[in-house]
Amino acid sequence: MNAILDSFGFVAKEQIQSSCSVDLTGSCDMTILYYKPTHMNQKITRRQFVQTTAAATATVAMAPLSGCAATTPYDAKGLPVVELGKTGARVPRMGFGCGSRWMAVQDNEKALEILEAAFNQGLYFWDTAASYGNENISSEERIGMILKERRANVFLTSKTGDREGDLAKKSVERSLMRLGTDHIDLMYVHAVSSVEDAEQLGKKGMVLDVLESLKSEGVIRNIGFTGHASAAGMRRAVELYDFDVMMMALNHQSSDGTEDFEGLPAPLARQKGMGVVAMKVIRPRETVNGLPANDLVRYALSLKDFHMSNIGIDSLEVLNSNLEVLRNFSPLDKEKMDELRLALQPFYKSNDLPWMHSAYQDGWNREIRLA
């Protein structure tokens, strides 16, 4: 940003930024930028001046005012927030997952009541995907029923599972139509499944080509990727590309114990400045009896390399329980973390985790309806 005006003889004179002593609810002083011409004798045309000024204005307008309560459109209602890596956005430490658990609520009014209640209590990070839905409606269409009047106040994410550029573009366009919006705050490449899969993403004409182009147009604001099945594949994606965010399932290791999900991709992603999001946080309860859901949420929030957790919610009771954990959260000590890791071993080494199989389709239990 400091060099945006170089081609027309302008550079950043100085950037004054407060120490930004941000509290957990996101208050902070504002960043101020000043510009001046460096070559006063250099002549530029009126057209160049207008273009340059417009570019500078657009850049400043799009720069994230992270943590500045006076300028952010988001309201966490006092929930703990965190800056999500390169996005610069301050988001709650818990996202609302609009996948299979939420879509299991068949009644649209009931499902939207849960989502609105979450929003009204500070959960404005909404996570969906092109492939999420049930036999009646896609997740994106359902969200679109209430999104319009609060679009500026929601940090909206979606995903495309397509790898070929043309198909990915159609997927994003369909998502925009379903959601009834002209932009998506974070678009993920969905379910990176192997090293080979990661390596093809950036080839000419493939999905990242298209997403980068859409980002330059402002249609999507940030680019990320998700992963469920291959720690090595996710790490390769982190190594090769400058994603803004990575979201990964908390498998921690493959069933044969050879892949460390928590240890391989997450620390490197964090080192590269990516936002790191956990998912499948509560799913161990389906494999291991006696694990309290609140302990699993606390466990995920205590992992040092993760900014936040994305959790599917299917009732007001679950919502209120999760919010209570978040409001009163403090990191678990080492003894408790080790205790939970030991209890989770049957889950981590299970061969029955559906998303570890190649045929798994995240967030949807039946045939996709491409409405």
Cβ neighbours of residue 338 closer than 8 Å, sequence gap 6 or more: none
Over residues 60-80, the pLDDT tens digits come to: 333 334 344 447 899 999 999
- pLDDT score of 84 more than 90: yes
How many Å apart are CA 72 and CA 50, to the nearest integer? Answer: 28
Q: What is the pLDDT of residue 358?
A: 53
Determine the average pLDDT of the residues in 73-99: 98
Q: Which tokens is 264 given?
A: 């391989």
Is the pLDDT higher at 18 or at 108? 108
CA triple 307-328-282, angle to 5 deg? 55
Backbone angles phi, psi at 286, to 5 degrees: -75, -15
- pLDDT score of 4 more than 90: no
Over residues 173-216, the pLDDT tens digits come to: 999 999 999 999 999 999 999 999 999 999 999 999 999 999 99
Task: Tell me if the pTM is above 0.75.
Answer: yes
Q: What is the pLDDT of residue 43?
A: 44
Backbone angles phi, psi at 180, to 5 degrees: 70, 40
Q: What is the pLDDT of residue 41?
A: 40
- pLDDT score of 39 more than 80: no
At 12, the pLDDT band (50, 70, 90 cuts) reads: very low
Determine the average pLDDT of the residues in 160-173: 98
How many Å apart are CA 272 and CA 57, to the nearest integer? Answer: 28
How many Å apart are CA 201 and CA 234, to the nearest integer? Answer: 12
> Which residue's structure tokens are 């209120």?
320
Q: Do residues 124 and 152 touch, judged by C-beta distance below 8 A?
A: no
How many Å apart are CA 332 and CA 140, to the nearest integer? Answer: 35
Over residues 290-346, the pLDDT tens digits come to: 889 999 999 999 999 999 999 999 999 999 999 999 999 999 999 999 999 888 887
Q: Which domains does the chain have, with CATH numbers?
A: 6-62 (no CATH), 81-356 (3.20.20.100)
Lowest mean pLDDT segment, chosen from 22-31, 148-157, 159-168, 213-222: 22-31
- pLDDT score of 258 more than 50: yes
